[in-house]
């Protein structure tokens, strides 16, 4: 009797995020946990949506794949249900055990025409993103290629994820980012609120299963935030989301 060889095991990449904590760099794993849900939020007022559309087309001049901020203060003045939207997300995060963290976290209003694959660990390594999408379903998904998860985007979709995790906004029928899917004249703009939650908060770390100081010697030698893959600085392919050497 012969024994079959063990199944081939694909080596998993080791991802490490190095981020600034006070005056020092720390290290941590990059979480593959993506928490998502749907909350009940009102339709934004028509004049506010029209204002967003003008901003996107004229001032921002968004190119396919770009993600840029919109003026939140002006939007709040024309948005009677803003507090209700924030409360809905706060209730959702409280259900995840994050208590009142949302109220003390920085928030921005963002817009995108799709989003090419990227990670945000080089600018926001010390944070997790919590996003609330405000537009109707336009057959777009947020895709996390490392895990294969796809979350359909519609009004009230809410996400919590590690900034170091590669992600994109792509067509639901697509397997990757294609700029032609977001050409001028197509209704593909998404507007969303985005909170930066401190990754070092014990509740955030627990929810995303973050392990800290996993490579303190390397962290002590770095002077800028970054994500390394298997010990080397790396970037993300804009079209596929695959990690590649930063060099």
Contact between 20 and 225 (Cβ < 8 Å)? yes
Diameter over CA atoms, the chain: 77
Residue 91 has phi, psi (to 5 degrees) of -65, -40
Instruction: Name beta bridge partners: 164.
Output: none
d(CA 153, CA 69): 18
Q: What string of pLDDT tens digits covers the 247 residues of the chain?
A: 333 334 433 346 899 999 999 999 999 999 999 999 999 999 999 999 999 999 998 889 889 999 999 999 999 999 999 999 999 999 999 999 999 999 999 999 999 999 999 999 999 999 999 999 999 999 999 999 999 999 999 999 999 999 999 999 999 999 999 999 999 888 999 999 999 999 999 999 999 999 999 999 999 999 999 999 999 999 999 999 999 987 6
- Model's pTM, two decimal places? 0.93
Instruction: Name beta bridge partners: 15.
Output: 229
Q: Is the dihedral of CA 53, 59, 62, 68 positive or negative?
A: negative
Contact between 28 and 126 (Cβ < 8 Å)? no
Instruction: Name beta bridge partners: 224.
Output: none
Domain ranges of the chain: 15-29+208-245, 34-204
Distance between terminal CA atoms of the chain?
Answer: 50
What would the CATH number be for the domain defined by 34-204?
A: 2.60.120.10
Instruction: Give CA 96 to chain center in angstroms.
Output: 17
Task: Indicate the pairing of strand 24-29 with strand 140-144.
Answer: unpaired
């Amino acid at each position: 009797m012969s024994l079959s060889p063990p199944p081939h095991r694909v080596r998993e990449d080791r991802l490490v995020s190095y981020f600034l904590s006070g005056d020092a760099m720390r290290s941590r794993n990059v979480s593959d946990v993506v928490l998502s849900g749907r909350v009940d939020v009102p339709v934004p007022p028509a004049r506010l949506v029209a204002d967003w559309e003008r901003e996107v087309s004229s001032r921002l001049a968004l190119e396919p794949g770009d993600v840029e901020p919109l003026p939140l203060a002006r939007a709040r003045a024309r948005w009677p249900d803003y507090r209700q939207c924030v409360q809905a997300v706060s209730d959702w995060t409280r259900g995840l055990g994050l208590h009142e963290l949302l109220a003390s976290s920085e928030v921005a209003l963002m817009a995108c025409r799709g989003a090419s694959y990227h990670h945000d660990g080089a600018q926001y390594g010390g944070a997790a993103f919590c996003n609330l999408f405000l537009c109707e379903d336009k057959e777009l998904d947020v895709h996390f290629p490392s895990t294969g998860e796809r979350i359909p985007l519609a009004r009230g979709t809410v996400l919590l994820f590690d900034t170091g995790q590669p992600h994109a906004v792509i067509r639901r029928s697509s397997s990757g980012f294609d700029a032609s899917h977001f050409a001028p004249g197509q209704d593909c703009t998404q507007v969303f609120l985005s909170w930066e939650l401190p990754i070092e908060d014990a509740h955030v770390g627990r929810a995303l299963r973050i392990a800290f100081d996993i490579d303190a010697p390397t962290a002590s030698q770095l002077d800028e935030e970054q994500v390394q893959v298997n010990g080397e600085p790396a970037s993300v392919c804009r079209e596929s989301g695959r990690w590649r050497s930063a060099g």
